[in-house]
Structure 1
Amino acid sequence: MRTLVKKFLIGASIAAGVSAIASSPASAGSLTNASISGGQYIKYDANSENTFANPNASLSTILTGNSSSPTGNVELFSDSESNFYKNLNNFKTAPVTTLSGTIGGKSLSLSSLTGADWFTTKDDLTYTTSFGADNLANRWFKDFSIKAGVGYNLFSYRLFFNNGGFQKSSDPNISYVNQDDSTGLISIGLAGHDNVKQAYASLLGPLANFIKDGFQASEVVKYTYNGVTDFLYSFQATNSGLVEKGDYISHSGNYEVSFQGVKPVKSTPEPSVMLGMLVVGGVFATQRKLKKA
């Protein structure tokens, strides 16, 4: 009987330890010491239903969400669609609005785009607005136009270009920045429209009727992290459960983009690991006591 009791106690202890470890979720880090520099921006706070402009909102509060529950957001380069930036020279040299902070012990910068970002070629760094050039404008618009259903061609490109489509896509709304501590993956939420058909219809003129209903596309964000600079965007959104209080359309979609970051260095074991160690230690102590008994 004693042997059965011992086995039961040890087995129960091990099962409890394993269960606690397995059920402990992977912890996630968020952007700290956040600040904004450069051009114009708008801070949007949120309640359970709406986002709304609030210049006094705290960045630490705005950026606390995730893909399941995005909160407020900060719009970088909020005047990108103004008449001033319809002029290509002004757009090329526009001030960059940057959200900066620290995540996983490393610096991260998220920025708005300028004409120089869109139209500078990848290899020889030549500035050109031509259709078919090897620059971000053509790479992104190729994906955008095909997914929209209007086709990637000179006609669709010139319509989009002439109507300020690239300026409209240069002001990302950052809603959260999180890092998975286990994998190092950094995820960024971009607030946008759950259905952008209406938002882009005016930019494509006679092609507007060809845009697919339910078409989704985020704005583009530029990031600099650990010596790397690149661009992120998405054509797939989840419903955010929110709408902007002014137009009841904006911020209804959450577009999550990500890139591989450096795994944070941990000086102490995870709480779940510590719990497992304590459980195992308790098991051995129980064994010793039962043997003495």
Structure 2
Amino acid sequence: MSGLLQKTLLSTSAVGISLLATAPAFGAGLTGATLNGGSYLLYEQQGTSTVLNNDADLATLLQGDINAPGGNIELSGILGDANAADINNATTLSGFLDGEAITVSSLTKSDWLYTPYQGYNSFAEKWFSEAWNHSDTGLQSWFADQGATNYTSAFSAFTMFGGYARFSDPNVNYVNQNSNGDVSIGLAGHLNHDSGLQLSEVVKVNYGGETHFLYGLGEALASGLVNDQGEGADGVSHSGLYNLTIPGEPSTDIPEPSTMLGLLAIGGLFGLTKRNKSNA
């Protein structure tokens, strides 16, 4: 699976050193998950498919990670129209990471157009500027096909005709905190969209007293899944994964697996050395 963590067979003599250097620092997932606000759609994993089931258990849907994304929650999702989202009312996923509150939300028109963000007049201005100038998003080519060949006319059309709504209903696979403190949020997307666009949707996150707008630009990772069964299945959605992160403070309660395995390997080496000396 391109871009995902590779599984490597290692000799026992190299296990401690290799895992110490390469093992992911998985920590804890979201606890106490609740959904509030507007509409949503729940997709559970069945084999290699994602299947709509709005009675699915939230904790089960959110137990994935970058290696196995699992099901997802489409915040503000509306069945029957991939371009539809409630742009006036956010749907919010709330819970706790290592005891600290976190909220993950769909975006509203106010978030896009009326919220100054990181030196820009609006978040829409920041997002569009970055997407326009990123060589892998395909945004310039797409707008050129619509007759908007320069940044000014394209951005005007994007805001005037509500193009931002298409990116406002994120499909959340997981909300995890790694033991290095980073928060990882997975968004399901398209691996190869027929429009040529390579962009994730946008998710709004409130965590640690700060507001973040997270999104991915360029090609997605391959999720190994696709929405090809059940009501509303289109045979193409959820085939991609964007793993987005917020730097955080390391948890003191969750030791890194790599550290534990490294210490075990070193301990075994010392034990073997001691036995060899005893037999000398």
Give TM-score, length-normalised by structure 1.
0.71
How far off its partner does 1:255 sit? 1.3
8 Å Cα contact 2:15/2:262 also seen in 1: no
Superposition pairs of residues 9-48 of structure 1, within 5 angstroms: 19-20=15-16, 22-23=18-19, 25-29=23-27, 30-48=29-47
Rounded Cα–Cα distance in structure 1 between residues aligned with 2:188 and 2:44: 12
1:260 is the counterpart of 2:247: yes
Tell me the equivalent position of 2:89. 95
Tell me the equivalent position of 2:212. 230
How far off its partner does 1:145 sit? 3.2
Tell me the equivalent position of 2:154. 156
Tell me the equivalent position of 1:209. none
8 Å Cα contact 1:17/1:280 also seen in 2: no
How far off its partner does 1:140 sit? 0.8
Superposition pairs of residues 164-183 of structure 1, within 5 angstroms: 164-181=162-179, 183=180
Amino acid at match of 2:68: S
8 Å Cα contact 2:15/2:265 also seen in 1: no
Q: 1:20 to 1:273 in 2, by over 3 A?
A: closer
Q: 1:220 to 1:123 in 2, by over 3 A?
A: closer
Residues 252-277 of structure 1 deviation map (CA, whole Å, 9 limit, x = unaligned): 21111111012111277964366357
Tell me the equivalent position of 2:181. 184
Amino acid at match of 1:174: V
Rounded Cα–Cα distance in structure 2 between residues aligned with 1:284 and 1:194: 51
8 Å Cα contact 2:73/2:173 also seen in 1: yes
Match of 1:108 among 96, 102, 105: 102
Rounded Cα–Cα distance in structure 2 between residues aligned with 1:66 and 1:193: 17
8 Å Cα contact 2:188/2:238 also seen in 1: yes
Residues 50-85 of structure 1 deviation map (CA, whole Å, 9 limit, x = unaligned): 2111112112221222223221100001149559x5
8 Å Cα contact 1:105/1:264 also seen in 2: no
Rounded Cα–Cα distance in structure 1 between residues aligned with 2:115 and 2:162: 20
How far off its partner does 1:108 sit? 1.7
Match of 1:244 among 221, 224, 227: 227
Residues 15-41 of structure 1 deviation map (CA, whole Å, 9 limit, x = unaligned): 979844653634412222222111111
Amino acid at match of 1:31: L
8 Å Cα contact 2:91/2:106 also seen in 1: yes
How far off its partner does 1:105 sit? 3.4
How far off its partner does 1:179 sit? 2.6
8 Å Cα contact 2:187/2:242 also seen in 1: yes
Amino acid at match of 1:170: S
1:117 is the counterpart of 2:111: yes
RMSD between superposed Cα atoms in Å: 3.2
1:290 is the counterpart of 2:275: no
Amino acid at match of 1:160: F
Give TM-score, length-normalised by structure 2.
0.74
Rounded Cα–Cα distance in structure 2 between residues aligned with 1:48 and 1:123: 41
Higher Rg: 1
Identity percentage of aligned residues: 35
Aligned length: 246
Amino acid at match of 1:254: L
Amino acid at match of 2:224: G
Rounded Cα–Cα distance in structure 2 between residues aligned with 1:39 and 1:273: 47
Q: Secondary structure at the match of 2:64?
A: coil
Q: 1:101 to 1:196 in 2, by over 3 A?
A: same
Amino acid at match of 1:67: I
Rounded Cα–Cα distance in structure 2 between residues aligned with 1:43 and 1:165: 24
Tell me the equivalent position of 2:261. 272
1:67 is the counterpart of 2:66: yes
Residues 215-251 of structure 1 deviation map (CA, whole Å, 9 limit, x = unaligned): 3001100111111111000113012222212111211
Amino acid at match of 1:117: D
Bigger Cα displacement from structure 2, 227-236 vs 272-281: 272-281
